[in-house]
């Protein structure tokens, strides 16, 4: 694949669709139930219109910023995504290397294929770790201890997956890792030589953070069965207190979509919250993340760093989120498609394209520093104020 011919996320998506086995491509490219929230996450960005400005000196520009106090080359982190090592062999390690070299944070999911230790060894640099709270608190304590030992610089606690939203395609495809050797899967794998070649070169094909660490897991190959058995539906704000204490470092709360919950997040003493509906994979019918952002920013001001994910596919989307008050954003599918299409080089190319689009679009709006981007770069900044 000639990466110089790839110019946007949609190009990566199309290549990934060709290269990645169907069950894993579908796992990424789907939302729950009718997928209305999944679609709105992307399409709602288009409602926000930029003010084109001219004759401003835009020669010297910077999109460098900080996220939870650490410098970043642009305010974009890689979101935690489960089974990333099934989009591409050793996917978490490759994406983490691309992020490290580009100067943006990488977040490792609890449900990753490569383990905390694998990523730490590959990158020799800090990364963020995303935690799902399981019923087995000894396992959680151990996971937190492992993330400290791996040198993680932030813990991202996901709050919106105590139960699992139904994603039709995963059920129809019989999603599992590694894929079961059914005739349907084998026929599909036969059409994915790039993926198979890469996968033959690694031994990492299951949930690396869990295998050999969690007790009483009856069916690890099935994400939905395991989630139903292990994830703790009783998780509440008081658990966040002990997790914060146990962890002792920077804490980011992910999955906040409501102003009242955002105030709780401030009270919990967390360092940041992520406005997120899990990429439209959990509560279908919830608003898009960008629609929910203004009310949350209004509720918490700058008492806590407000980040956003959901539907970000381009540098312009990053700019729109910044304009409405997000301090930074995370990207999920955009980097998964790039990874599935071209491994580490694909993710690097995606980050370059996003950064360039962010920088040039900011310039067209007459701004030279990302820190000066605010609602005034938009013609209709109040578009989502009714939410």
Ligand X SMILES: Cc1cc2nc3c(=O)[nH]c(=O)nc-3n(C[C@H](O)[C@H](O)[C@H](O)COP(=O)(O)O)c2cc1C
Residues that bind ligand X (CB under 6 A): 27-28, 41, 79-82, 109, 111, 130, 158, 254, 276, 278-279, 281, 309-312, 331-334
Q: Which conformational region is residue 148 in: left (phi greater than 0), alpha (psi within -120 to 50 degrees), or beta?
A: alpha
- For the stretch 262-267, contacts whose Cβ atoms lie closer than 8 Å and that sit 24 or more positions apart, written own/partner, are 262/296, 262/299, 262/300, 262/304, 262/306, 263/299, 263/300, 264/237, 265/300, 265/304, 266/300, 266/303, 266/304
Q: Which is nearer to ligand X, 89 or 367 (CB)?
A: 89
Q: Which is nearer to ligand X, 79 or 150 (by Cβ)?
A: 79
Taking the complex as a whole, the smallest distance from the CB of residue 41 to ligand X amounts, in Å, to 5
Judge whether 205 and 91 are in contact, CB under 8 Å.
no
Measured from the CB atom, the residue of 297 and 336 that comes closer to ligand X is: 336
- Using alpha carbons only, what angle is made at residue 357 by residues 352 and 359, rounded to the nearest 5 degrees? 95
Q: Which residue bears the tokens 């949609």?
A: 10
What are the distances in angstroms from CA 167 to CA 36, 164, 246, 281?
12, 9, 33, 7
Beta bridge partners of 309: 330
Does 278 qualify as catalytic in the annotation? Answer: yes
Q: SS3 of 135, please?
A: coil
Nearer to ligand X, 30 or 367 (CB): 30
Query: Looking at beta carbons only, is 312 or 373 nearer to ligand X?
Result: 312
Q: How far is the CB of 61 from ligand X (least distance, A)?
A: 25
With residue 66 as reference, give the H or E element that holds it: strand 65-67
CB 185 within 8 A of CB 154: no
Cβ 162 to ligand X shortest distance, Å: 12
Q: How far is the CB of 345 from ligand X (least distance, A)?
A: 20
Taking the complex as a whole, the smallest distance from the CB of residue 364 to ligand X amounts, in Å, to 24
- Tokens 């067209």 map to which residue? 364
DSSP state of 90: T
> Of these residues, 47, 168, 264, 278, which one is catalytic?
278
85 vs 332, which CB is nearer to ligand X?
Answer: 332
Q: Report in angstroms how near the CB of residue 94 gets to ligand X at its nearest.
A: 16
Looking at the Cβ atoms of 322 and 367, the one nearer to ligand X is: 322
Segment (H or E) for 76:
strand 76-78
CB of 208 to ligand X, least distance (A): 13
**C-beta nearest to ligand X: residue:** 332
Q: How far is the CB of 331 from ligand X (least distance, A)?
A: 5
Cα→Cα distances 125→93, 309, 340, Å: 12, 23, 23
Which is nearest to 240 in space by CA: 159, 300, 306? 159
Strand, coil or helix: what is 154?
strand
| Identity of the residue, 147 or 158, whose beta carbon is nearer to ligand X in the bound complex | 158
d(CA 174, CA 21): 12
User: How crowded is residue 218: how many other Cβ atoms within 10 Å of its Cβ?
Assistant: 9
Q: What is the rounded CA–CA span in Å between residue 83 and residue 373?
A: 35
Q: Shortest CA distance to 346 belongs to which of 103, 113, 99?
A: 99
Query: So which residues are the catalytic ones?
Result: 278
């Amino acid at each position: 694949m000639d990466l110089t011919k790839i110019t946007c996320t949609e190009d990566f998506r199309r290549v990934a669709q060709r290269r990645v086995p169907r069950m894993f491509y579908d796992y990424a490219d789907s939302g729950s139930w009718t997928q209305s929230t999944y679609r709105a996450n992307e399409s709602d960005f288009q409602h926000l219109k930029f003010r084109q400005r001219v004759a401003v000196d835009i020669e010297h520009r910077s999109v460098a910023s900080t996220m939870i106090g650490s410098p970043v080359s642009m305010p974009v982190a890689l979101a935690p995504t489960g089974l990333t090592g099934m989009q591409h062999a050793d996917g978490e390690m490759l994406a983490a290397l691309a992020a490290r070299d580009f100067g943006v944070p990488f977040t490792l999911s609890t449900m990753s294929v490569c383990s905390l230790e694998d990523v730490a060894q590959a990158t020799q640099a800090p990364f963020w770790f995303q935690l799902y709270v399981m019923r087995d608190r000894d396992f959680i304590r151990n996971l937190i201890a492992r993330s400290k030992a791996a040198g993680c610089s932030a813990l991202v606690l996901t709050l919106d997956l105590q139960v699992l939203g139904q994603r039709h395609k995963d059920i129809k495809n019989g999603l599992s890792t590694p894929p079961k050797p059914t005739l349907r899967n084998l026929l599909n794998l036969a059409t994915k030589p790039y993926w198979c070649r890469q996968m033959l070169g690694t031994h990492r094909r299951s949930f690396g953070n869990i295998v050999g660490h969690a007790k009483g897991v009856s069916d690890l190959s099935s994400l939905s069965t395991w989630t139903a058995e292990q994830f703790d539906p009783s998780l509440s704000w008081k658990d966040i207190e002990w997790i914060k204490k146990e962890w002792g470092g920077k804490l980011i709360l992910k999955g906040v979509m409501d102003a009242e919950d955002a105030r709780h997040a401030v009270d919990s003493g967390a360092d940041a919250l992520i406005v997120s509906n899990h990429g439209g994979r959990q509560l279908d019918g919830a608003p898009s993340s960008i629609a929910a952002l203004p009310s949350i920013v209004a509720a918490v001001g700058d008492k806590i760093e407000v980040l956003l994910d959901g539907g970000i596919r381009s540098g312009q989307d990053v700019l729109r989120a910044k304009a409405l008050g997000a301090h930074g954003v995370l990207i999920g599918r955009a980097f998964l498609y790039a990874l599935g299409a071209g491994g580490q080089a694909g993710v690097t190319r995606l980050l370059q394209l996003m950064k360039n689009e962010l920088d040039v679009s900011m310039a067209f709006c007459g701004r030279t520093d990302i820190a000066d981007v605010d609602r005034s770069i938009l013609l209709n900044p109040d578009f989502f104020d009714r939410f």
